[in-house]
């Protein structure tokens, strides 16, 4: 065990830490179940959650063990230095944002985004000091912008992992250039989604109560568990395919970041065995991440649908939210791709075909979204339960009608018209459609949260909800901070997977033709 570089010990510590966490997860749920059972309380949720999350974390720690023992550990210290990782000349454009110094334009953009983020931070500090009285909430309206943002951000987060996992599993070769940018969206935006909840909490200082006094019957706890799991697994899912690229950067980086790359590259040499292990791990992760991602947005919808409030209490909400999440996720991904393509000159990698393909996907999701919306509203209207009808009419023709019809226009009418024809599925067309979809999906979340609260069952407590500068500012700041973090990521790691694209170029043709041959009679 001697003569190991320092990175090995850090990596080992991380692995052991993850083991400990896995053990804690596996013990905590049974422990709660036992306690609740003894209290004569409902122990089933704890047992059920534990029986799902326990194996998930066991599987994650298994994958991490594989990576550690098969990639990081076998390297013997003190041997001769490995040759630097290969980078083809045409790949320089992919590594350039990482290796080249930042441009003044980039710095200026960072400054603007940073200023907005700092302003939001100030607003949040002010809210911490004065309490939620600085928001526009009141009367019967207890949730507003923050919860809308939470649902919206979590929705966006489905861009990455879910899309990239699906594309990986179905072996869609065009995925190779876009998966990374999608996965980064997931990880970054999830933090802001979770953050929105903390911003919304009246007592963020009591956050730990959720773990010490957590009541697993509460859909909010399902959210906590699910989102935590999702964040961890999607981070891992982002990290695994990143390892070979980090190794490439490690061998070329000369500045202060080198130790970071050394630590994160796990001593990657690019050997055949390593690639085999890594690919097996990635495919397992893709399989694992898929149900987790679906569960995340399902339980987010459960926060609403588990109550008995008019137009929240709906069985369709689970799939409706998942569809909406993927929808907005694709839209966010398209926008990100277009920006990257323009900003870093990646026209060779992010080609119109990518936009065309994703545009088709967006079109499908748009139709699905419309189908779900139609089902939801038709059911409510036809059933005509008075409590629900007040909310329905508030959206359909009342105070919220402008928002509602704008949502229908931006989520369905406009994207459908643009994307239905190949002429519209250009880079510009898909980006325009995506931009409206993002607006529309935010509106959709808002129209789910606010009207129900403004028109509660008993008509006495009706409220109005006009968000304040604080709420709008924190929303703007979250988006700015997200973009900033995303941009910073592109300065630290290649945003288009170098090795995967190369691998695709080298191997995919043969693999695909071999695969195609199996489809037909020999």
Partner 1 sequence: MEKLKEMRSSRKSFLLAALGAFAAVFSGGIGRAWGKGHGSEKAGRHKPGSHLWGMVIDLDTCTGCGACVLACSAENNQVLGSPAEAAMNRVIRWLKILPSQEGEYPLVKQRLLPMTCLHCEHPPCTKVCPVNATYRNEEGIVGQVYPRCIGCRYCLNACPYTIKFYNWKEPVWPAGMEGSFNPDVSVRPIGVTEKCLFCHHRLQRAREEAAAQGRPLQAGDYQPACAEVCPAKAITFGDLNDPDSAVSVLARDIRAFHLLEELGTEPKVTYLKERS
Partner 2 sequence: MEITRKNFLKLGMFSGFGFALPDWAAKWALKPREDLPPPDWEETVSHTVCGLCPSGCGMRVRKVDGRAVGVAGIAEHPVNRGSLCSKGAAALQELYHPDRVKGPLLRDGARGSGKWKKIAWPEALALLSKKLGRAAPGGGRMPFAALTSARAWDIQGETLRGLAGSLGKDNLFALGFPLSEPPADAYEEMHGLRRLGLDLTRAKLVVSFGFDWLQSAGAPVGAQRTFARLRSAPGRERARLIQVEPRLSATAGKADQWLRVRPGTEGLLALALAGRLIAGGTYDKAFVNSRCRGFEEFKKGLERYSPEEVAEATGAPAKEILKLADLLAAGRPAAAITNRGPLLTQLAVHALNALLGGLSEGGAFSAIADQDGFWAGPSAAAALAARPPGALLVDRVNPLFLSPLEWKGILERTPFIATVSPFLTETAEFSDLVLPCHTPLERGHCSIHVSPDGSAVLNAAVKAVEPFYDTRDPAEIFLLAAGASGRTSVPADLDSFFTGHIARLQAEKLLEEGGKGKSWREINGPAAAGPRFASGSGKFEFQALTALLVRRDAAKRPENGEFPLYVHFYSPLAFSFGEGAHLPYLQSVAGPGMQDAWETWAELHPETAGARGIADGDAVWIASQRGKIKARARLSASAMPAVVSLPVGLGHTAYGRWAARAGSNPLELGSGESRVKIWKS
**Of residues 470, 436, 443, the one with CA closest to residue 122:** 470
496: alpha, beta or left? (left if phi > 0; alpha if psi -120 to 50): beta
Task: Note whether 444 and 376 are within 8 A (CB).
Answer: no
- Per-residue contact track with partner 2, 211 to 250, x per CB under 8 A? --x-------------------------------------
Q: Which of residues 362-401 bind partner 1 (CB under 8 A)?
A: none
* 151 DSSP β-pair partners: none
Among 156, 185, 248, 303, binds partner 1 (CB under 8 A): 303
- Token pair listed for 62: 């298994």
Task: Note whether 290 and 169 are within 8 A (CB).
Answer: yes
The reply to whether 59 sits near partner 2 by the rule CB under 8 A is no
Q: Which is nearer to partner 1, 143 or 321 (CB)?
A: 143
Residue 278 CB-half CA count within 13 A: 22
Q: Which of residues 132-151 bind partner 1 (CB under 8 A)?
A: 132-133, 137-140, 142-143
398 binds, among partner 1, partner 2, none (CB under 5 to 8 A by kind): none
Task: Note whether 423 and 444 are within 8 A (CB).
Answer: no
The reply to whether 377 sits near partner 2 by the rule CB under 8 A is no
Work out the angle between the directed axes of helices 219-239 and 44-67 (0-180°, nearest 10).
Answer: 10
- Per-residue contact track with partner 2, 16 to 45, x per CB under 8 A? ---x--xx--xx--xx--xxx-xx-x----
Segment lying near partner 1 (by CB under 8 A), choices 300-308, 324-332, 346-354, 400-408: 300-308
Q: Which is nearer to partner 1, 101 or 386 (CB)?
A: 386
Q: Which is nearer to partner 1, 89 or 386 (CB)?
A: 386
C-alpha 18: how far from chain center:
21
**Of residues 451, 299, 327, the one with CA closest to residue 389:** 451
State how far the Cα of 216 lies from the Cα of 219, in Å rounded to an integer.
8
Least separation, in Å, of the C-beta of 218 and partner 2? 14
Among 52, 58, 172, 277, binds partner 2 (CB under 8 A): 58
How many positions of this chain bind partner 1 (CB under 8 A)?
59
Give CA angle at 282 (224, 90), nearest 5°: 120
State how far the Cα of 454 lies from the Cα of 459, in Å rounded to an integer.
10
237 binds, among partner 1, partner 2, none (CB under 5 to 8 A by kind): none
Residue 78 CB-half CA count within 13 A: 4
Segment lying near partner 1 (by CB under 8 A), choices 75-83, 107-115, 204-212, 424-432: 204-212
35 binds, among partner 2, partner 1, none (CB under 5 to 8 A by kind): partner 2
φ, ψ for residue 138, nearest 5 deg: 160, 170
DSSP state of 141: B
What is the rounded end-to-end Cα distance, in angstroms, of the chain? 54
State how far the Cα of 229 lies from the Cα of 485, in Å rounded to an integer.
21
Tell me which residue has tokens 């569809």. 323
The reply to whether 203 sits near partner 1 by the rule CB under 8 A is yes
Segment lying near partner 2 (by CB under 8 A), choices 58-66, 93-101, 177-185, 300-308: 58-66
Interface with partner 1 (CB under 8 A):
26, 30, 33-34, 37, 40-43, 47, 50-51, 54-55, 58, 62, 66, 70, 130-133, 137-140, 142-143, 197, 200-203, 206-207, 209-210, 213-215, 217-221, 224, 303, 306-309, 453, 456-461, 463
Interface with partner 2 (CB under 8 A):
19, 22-23, 26-27, 30-31, 34-36, 38-39, 41, 58, 61, 65, 213, 460
């Amino acid at each position: 065990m001697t003569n190991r570089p320092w990175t090995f010990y850090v990596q080992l510590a991380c692995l052991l830490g993850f083991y400990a966490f896995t053990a804690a997860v596996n013990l905590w749920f049974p422990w709660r179940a036992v306690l609740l059972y003894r209290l004569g309380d409902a122990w089933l949720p704890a047992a059920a959650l534990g029986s799902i999350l326990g194996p998930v974390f066991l599987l994650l720690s298994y994958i991490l063990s594989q990576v550690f023992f098969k990639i990081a550990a076998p390297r013997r210290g003190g041997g001769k230095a490995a040759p630097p990782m290969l980078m083809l000349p045409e790949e320089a454009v992919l590594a350039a944002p990482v290796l080249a110094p930042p441009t003044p334009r980039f710095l200026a953009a960072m400054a603007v985004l940073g200023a907005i983020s700092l302003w939001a931070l100030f607003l949040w500090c002010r809210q911490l000091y004065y309490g939620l009285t600085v928001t526009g909430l009141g009367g019967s309206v207890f949730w507003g912008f923050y919860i809308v943002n939470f649902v919206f951000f979590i929705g966006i987060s489905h861009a990455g992992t879910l899309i990239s996992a699906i594309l990986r599993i179905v072996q869609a070769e065009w995925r190779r250039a876009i998966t990374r940018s999608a996965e980064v969206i997931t990880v970054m935006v999830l933090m802001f989604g979770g953050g929105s909840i903390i911003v919304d909490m009246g007592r963020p200082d009591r956050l730990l109560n959720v773990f010490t006094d957590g009541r697993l019957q509460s859909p909010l706890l399902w959210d906590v568990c699910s989102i935590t799991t999702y964040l961890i697994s999607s981070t891992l899912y982002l990290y695994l395919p990143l390892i070979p690229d980090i190794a490439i950067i490690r061998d070329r980086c000369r500045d202060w970041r080198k130790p970071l790359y050394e630590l994160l590259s796990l001593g990657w040499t690019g050997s055949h065995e390593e690639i085999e292990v890594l690919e097996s791990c990635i495919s397992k992760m893709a399989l694992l991440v898929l149900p987790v991602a679906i569960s995340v947005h399902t339980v987010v919808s459960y926060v609403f649908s588990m109550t008995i409030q008019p137009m929240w209490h709906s069985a369709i909400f689970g799939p409706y939210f998942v569809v909406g999440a993927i929808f907005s996720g694709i839209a966010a991904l398209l926008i990100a791709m277009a920006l990257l393509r323009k900003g870093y000159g990646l026209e060779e990698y992010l080609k119109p075909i990518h936009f065309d393909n994703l545009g088709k996907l967006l079109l499908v999701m748009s139709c699905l979204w419309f189908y779900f919306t139609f089902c939801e509203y038709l059911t409510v209207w036809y059933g005509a339960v008075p409590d629900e009808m007040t909310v329905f009419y508030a959206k359909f023709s009342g105070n919220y009608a402008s928002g509602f019809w704008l949502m229908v226009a931006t989520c369905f009418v406009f994207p459908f018209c643009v994307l239905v024809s190949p002429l519209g599925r250009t880079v510009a067309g898909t980006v325009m459609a995506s931009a409206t979809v993002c607006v529309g999906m935010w509106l959709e979340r808002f129209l789910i949260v606010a009207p129900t609260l403004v028109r509660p069952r008993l008509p006495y407590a009706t409220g109005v909800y006009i968000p304040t500068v604080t709420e709008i500012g924190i929303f703007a700041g979250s988006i700015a901070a997200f973009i900033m973090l995303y941009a910073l990521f592109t300065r630290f790691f290649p945003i288009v997977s170098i090795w995967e694209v190369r691998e695709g170029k080298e191997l995919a043709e043969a693999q695909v033709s071999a695969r195609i041959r199996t489809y037909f009679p020999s």
